[in-house]
Amino acid sequence: MFWKIVKNDFARKKIITVAVSVFIIMAVILGASSTNIIANLIQSMSQLQKLSVPADITQMHSGEYDQAKIDKFTEQQHENIAMQETMVLQDLDGSNIHFGKNETMAGTVQDISFVMQNKKFDFILDLNNEKLNIKQGEVAVPIFFMERHDLKIGDTITVKSGGYLKKFVISDYARDYEMNSSMVTSKRFVINKIDYDEMLKKQAGKLEYLIEFKLSKNGNSQAALTAYMVAGLPANGPTVGAKIFMLFNAMSDALVAMVIILISILLIIIASICIRLTFQATIDEDLREIGVMKAMGISQKDIKKVYLNKYRVMAVVSGIIGYLSSFVVVNLFNGNMRLYLSSNLSGNLKYVLSLIAPLFVYFMIVMYCKKVLKIIDKISAVEALRTDIMESGKTRKYSFPLLKNKLFSTNIYMGLRDVWKRFKLYRLLIIIFAVSTFIVILPINMYNTMNSPELSTYMGIGKCDMRIDLRRTDTITQDFKKLQVELKNDSDIKKYAPYITCSYPVKNAKGSFDYINIETGDFDQFPLNYLSGRSPKGEGEISISYLNASKDGLNKKVGDQVVVIVAGTEKTMKVCGIYQDITNGGKTAKADTSLGLNENSILWYIVSMDVATGVDIKKKVDYYQNTYDSAQVNDIKEYTRQTVGSMINQMSTIVICGIVIALIIIILITALFIKMLLSKDMSQIAIMRSMGLTSKNIKHQYMAGTMMVLILGIILGVLASNYLGEFIVSMAMATMGAARIQFIVVAWQTLLLCPLALIVIVGFTISACCRVTVEDDLSVVLRS
Amino acid sequence: MNNILEARSMNKKVELGKDNELHILKDVDLTIEKGEFVSVMGPSGSGKSTLLYNVSSMDRLTSGSVKFKGLEMVGLKEEELSKIRLSNMGFIFQDINLLKNLSVIDNVMFPALVSKNADKNAVNLKARKLLEMTGIEKLADNNITQASGGQLQRAGICRALINDPDINLETSRPEH
């Protein structure tokens, strides 16, 4: 009997049933997709790590080195270190690599090197996650460049450098665990040993070394690294640990999963609000029925069961549809993972983990319905059957009389005052509009922030037009001095600042020493945004990155002291500021030039500059690149865009999905709400039409009320996405070193285009819904 | 022209199901002159309300003609019929049918205020006068939930008269 009631109820209220079901399905799809992504991420990262066997410590170095000393060190550290291997990289500039129709890889921020496969560990794999085995005359191209230049298997690349000229056929793509991510600015092309030796003999590239260590089972990474530094072994490049590789590989997919989970939670909230809206709008109609059931002696539990069963059925059916659909939808989001981590995402973990979403949604919906249904307990049979008793005795003060209306037409005034009169009903709509606006605007803000030059502030780089990175060569010091002289005399350069980064031992919270990269120079020229404090201005001052300041790092705040060893001498520095930096594992520092250099551990030289007004940045970049061919010269916008390229691409997908989801929500909810209102107000509408109001007059009333609610919702949504959104994203990015993200808000998009688009869509939806219902036969309604 | 309303050969059929229809009005003629008081009486279910709804354009005839002040209403669009009802007709329903979110006086004023150029103060004055005539002026600013059925019926009469209609149409229960 109850199931018959449920079935009839579905048939009577099709639109409501469909709308609520759609939201439940969307919530399940997104929830299941995000758990799917997380499951795939865990499995594919784990598998890739197992097959590629990445190093636990990678020390980059260029120049002279003694392998025998490294071997001796490895033996001495046998408790910590299981294996050691040195990979020799032959670095080439992008302009040396030709492909397609006279194109080169010039302009890339990536350091390009040609290598051959390692023997012991740190293997570079193909797209089937098998160790690359390259034949003579062939090359495996990193996935980054495959995407960037649309290179296909069978295409050729030609390497021209000095007297060296060689054509390679692309036979595979290189899936490189250590250097996959665009955040790692080095990429390895894999070639055959014979070709490699030939390139080496002809000195086609500059040599750089990856001195890599694989720790033993209980090996201590920090101890091994400290011992390496103390032993004075070659270390004039950055040191990277296993954790950083993992973080960079997972970063963009983890970010996508987080955003989808957030949207899924919002959709569950919307589905719950829909259910509450349905109850509130229809409970008056059902009041009499409930009264009749109670009068007949049917228990409250059984009455509630009628409503609960309806939503149970809806949640189960929608949950199944959502779960199955998620395996198709997830392909929209896991493209990056398929390419960079694993082409085969067929692990079983995702089928199990994805069940969490429909189960969670089912329990949330049922629990919420039980809470809302408590209203039935308060209804007595007599009160429900005699609604005149309920109405009388209410002595609410009458507000917004028609005479007070000075600004609007009577119909619009009626619509606006209706929002006040029935605010309990409309407030749910405000929340839904606010949430939908949030879903649209938050990803847009994130996308604009990632795409802006201001992103450099989260990479520890002050805002500037251009940046020159000098690579480690024998003439680097002379080149650096020569460059500064040239810049000083170049009238096209408005201002510039040189920076030198060295590795310094710094005393940590435990009293031992960690090696931290400290950049020295004048930081007033290109200031950073500081979380607290300011840039170092003179002797004895140091600013540190957020992660360095955290408990996991040096555990310092502004005003604390830090002991740094410079050329063998301890120097006590005062922390003057904390900034954000997501590069180099998030642990960097900056100090004034007066700190001095550790000559044996200079890592890199950088010059940041601004061009004069009207100067073409691209031409300037090209000029300095050609003049200093060992340097990497970049337009800073291009630099940041390339570094976070894959995250930007994924964010643009989320922007589109966010807009589509928000539009679906808004159209369905508006239609649902208007239909329910029109149904509830049927008799009142008939009275107005009998007096001579046209259907257009009545449409204006509902349009006015709903538009006002929409505008309120948009305002709330914009505020939430700008402020709450910033807070949420900052919390998420804090683990990567960016603890206070400030959105770049493009006003015409978020304050004009999006709100206008929402207003137009809601307007059309109301118009369409009103047209259908207001044409009902007037006399039939009046009689009923 | 003395005739306010002229209805000829009015037929109204209602479909109750497949091959089952109810012929409520069969070739009904009706003429109402200016100033005339007409009472249509009959047993319950005889078609009195159907007659009223069709002559007032709130329902559409199956066939026939209804002229209001010489203008043929059958075939007019909803907007045109609404205008006629608003400006020229008043209705008093047996179930009162006031708008529940408006006060007594706002209910009376509402049909007059819908027109764009209405003088709110003049309409208010007129509405209060009507309420005074029917003895319910003290309830003017009350919610309709604070009035009895009889008082609301009188408010309905005031509302019907606010636009000085050419014709007033009323459905009522036998005991009125």
Structure-token pair, residue A169: 């056929």
Q: How far is A734 from chain B (nearest CA, A)?
A: 52
Q: Which residue of A has its CA nearest to B14?
A: A780
Tell me whether 0.85 is exceeded by the ipTM: yes
Model pLDDT, residue A311: 83
pLDDT digits (tens, 9 = 90+) for A463-483: 889 989 886 666 778 888 888
| Cβ contact A694–B78 (<8 Å) | yes
Indicate yes or no: CB of A403 within 8 angstroms of CB of B124: yes
Percentage, residues of chain A above pLDDT 90: 28
Q: Does A695 contact chain B (CB < 8 Å)?
A: yes
| A-chain residues near B102 (CB < 8 A) | 402
- What per-residue confidence (pLDDT) applies to A783? 65
Contact B101 A418 (CB under 8 A): yes
Whether B170 contacts chain A with CB within 8 A: no
**Residue in B84, B103, B114 nearest the CB of A398:** B103
Q: How many residues does this entry show for chain B?
A: 176
Provide the CA A783 distance to its chain's centre, in angstroms: 58
Judged by a CB distance cut-off of 8 A, whether residue A407 touches chain B is no
pLDDT at A59 over 60: yes
Instruction: Please tell me the distance from the alpha carbon of residue A418 to that of residue A266, in angstroms, as a whole number.
Output: 27
Contact list, A402 vs chain B (CB under 8 Å): 102, 106, 109-110, 113, 120
Q: Give me A561's structure tokens.
A: 């002291």
The Cα of A415 is separated from the nearest Cα of chain B by a number of Å equal to 11
Report the range out of A127-141, A234-248, A736-750 with the highest average pLDDT: A127-141
Q: Taking CB atoms and an 8 Å limit, are A398 and B101 in contact across chains?
A: no
Return the residue in B120, B123, B141, B170 with the most chain A beta carbons within 10 A, the one to mutate for interface testing. B120
B48, B78, B81: best to mutate for the A interface, most A CBs within 10 A: B78
Query: How many angstroms separate the CA of residue B114 from the nearest CA in chain A?
Result: 6
Cα–Cα distance for residue pair A131/A122, rounded to 1 Å = 10
Whether chain B has a CB inside 8 Å of the CB on A697: the answer is yes
- The answer, for A329 touching chain B at a CB cutoff of 8 Å, is no
Chain B nearest-CA residue for A418: B101
Residue A620 has pLDDT above 50, yes or no: yes
> What is the bridge-based pairing of β-strands B89-92 and B167-170?
parallel
Q: How confident is the model at residue A5 (pLDDT cuts 50, 70, 90)?
A: low
Which band of pLDDT confidence, cut at 50, 70 and 90, is reported for residue A12? low
Q: Rounded to a whole number, what is the distance in Å from the CA of A701 to chain B's nearest CA?
A: 12
What confidence tens digit (pLDDT) does each residue in A729-762 have?
888 777 777 778 888 888 898 889 989 998 999 9
User: Which of A320-324, A391-395, A476-480, B83-87 is predicted with the least confidence, judged by mean pLDDT?
Assistant: A391-395
For residue A451, the 8-state DSSP code is T
Residues A32, A323 contacting (CB under 8 angstroms) = yes
For A414-458, the pLDDT digits (tens) are 999 999 988 988 888 898 899 889 888 988 888 888 888 777 777
Which residue has better confidence, B54 or A508? Answer: B54
The separation between the first and the last C-alpha atoms of chain A, rounded to the nearest angstrom, is 27
Average pLDDT for A683-711: 90
In 3D space, the residue among A641, A600, A598, A607 whose CA is nearest the CA of residue A627 turns out to be: A607
CB-count exposure of residue A540 (10 Å: 0-12, 13-18, 19+) = middle
In the prediction, which pLDDT does A288 show? 66
Q: How far A702 CA sits from the closest chain B CA (Å)?
A: 14
Interface test with A, best of B51, B76, B110 (most A CBs within 10 A): B110
- Cα A676 from Cα A8, distance rounded (Å): 18
Confidence check: pLDDT of A772 > 50:
yes
Of all residues in chain A, the one with the smallest CA distance to B120 is: A403
Question: Of all residues in chain A, what percent are helix, strand and coil, respectively (each to 5)?
Answer: 55, 20, 25
* B146 neighbourhood in chain A, CB within 8 Å: 392, 395
Q: Which two tokens stand for residue A585?
A: 């594992």
| DSSP-assigned letters across all residues of chain B | --EEEEEEEEEEEEEEETTEEEEEEEEEEEEEETT--------TTSSHHHHHHHHTTSS--SEEEEEETTEE-TT--HHHHHHHHHHHEEEEBTTB---TTSBHHHHHHHHHHTSTT--HHHHHHHHHHHHHHTT-GGGTTSBGGGS-HHHHHHHHHHHHHTT--SEEEE---TT-
The nearest alpha carbon in chain A to B51 belongs to: A779
Mutation for testing the B interface, residue in A682, A694, A700 having most B CBs under 10 Å = A694
B106–A692 C-beta distance less than 8 A: no
Q: B158 contacts in A (CB within 8 Å)?
A: none
Does the beta-carbon distance from A692 to B111 stay under 8 Å?
Answer: yes
The percent of residues above 70 in pLDDT, for chain A, comes to: 90
Closest CA–CA distance from residue B56 to any residue of chain A (Å) = 9
Decide if A771 touches B, using CB distance below 8 A. Answer: no
- In terms of Cβ atoms closer than 10 Å to its own Cβ (0-12, 13-18, 19+), residue A346 is exposed
CA atoms within 13 A on the CB side of B113: 28
The verdict on a CB contact (< 8 Å) between B106 and A402 is yes
Q: Which long-range contacts (CB under 8 A, 24 or more apart) does A535-540 make?
A: A535/A576, A535/A577, A535/A590, A536/A576, A536/A577, A536/A590, A536/A591, A536/A592, A537/A576, A537/A592, A538/A592, A538/A594, A539/A592, A539/A594, A539/A595, A540/A571, A540/A572, A540/A573, A540/A574, A540/A594
Q: What is the mean pLDDT of residues A526-545?
A: 90
Provide the pLDDT for residue B108.
Answer: 94
Q: Check residue A495 and give its pLDDT.
A: 93
Contact A337, A40 (CB under 8 A): yes
Distance CA B145, CA A388 (A): 9
DSSP conformation class of A586: G
Task: Please check the confidence at residue B176 and state whether its pLDDT lies above 70.
Answer: no
**B31 in reach of chain A (CB within 8 A):** no
Nearest CB partner across the interface for A779, out of B53, B85, B124 = B53
Instruction: Read off the DSSP letter of residue A752.
Output: I
Summarize pLDDT for A337-375 with one digit per residue, the tens: 787 887 666 667 778 888 888 998 888 888 888 887 787
Report the pLDDT value the prediction gives residue A141, as an integer from 0 to 100.
95
The single-letter DSSP state of residue A400 is S
Higher-confidence residue of A514 and A287: namely A514
Give the pLDDT of residue A472: 66
Measured between CB atoms, does B113 come within 8 Å of chain A?
A: yes
Say if residues A572 and A206 touch (Cβ distance below 8 Å): no
**Do the Cβ atoms of B142 and A403 come within 8 Å?**
no
Nearest CA in chain A to B82: A692
Residue with tokens 């997501």: A582
For residue B78, the chain A residues in CB contact (below 8 A) are 694-695, 775
Which chain B residues are within 8 Å of A405, Cβ to Cβ? 120
B50 burial via Cβ count (<10 Å: 0-12, 13-18, 19+): buried
Q: What mean pLDDT, rounded, does chain A reach?
A: 84
Partner residue facing B109 (CB), from A391, A402, A777: A402
Quick check: A386 pLDDT over 70? no
Residue-level pLDDT at A771: 72
pLDDT band at A491 (very low <50, low <70, confident <90, very high): very high
Determine the residue of chain A that is closest to B146 in CA distance: A392
Query: Whole-angstrom Cα distance, residue B110 to residue B120?
Result: 10
For residue A375, the 8-state DSSP code is G
Query: Beta-carbon neighbour count of residue A764 at 10 Å?
Result: 12
Query: Is the Cβ of B8 closer than 8 Å to some Cβ of chain A?
Result: no
* CA separation for the pair A414, A401 (Å, rounded): 10
Geometric angle at alpha carbon A359, from A358 and A361, rounded to 5° = 65
Write down all domains in chain B, each with its CATH number in brackets. Answer: 3-76 (3.40.50.300), 104-169 (no CATH)
pLDDT of residue A418: 92
What digits encode the pLDDT tens for the residues A720-737?
998 898 888 888 777 777
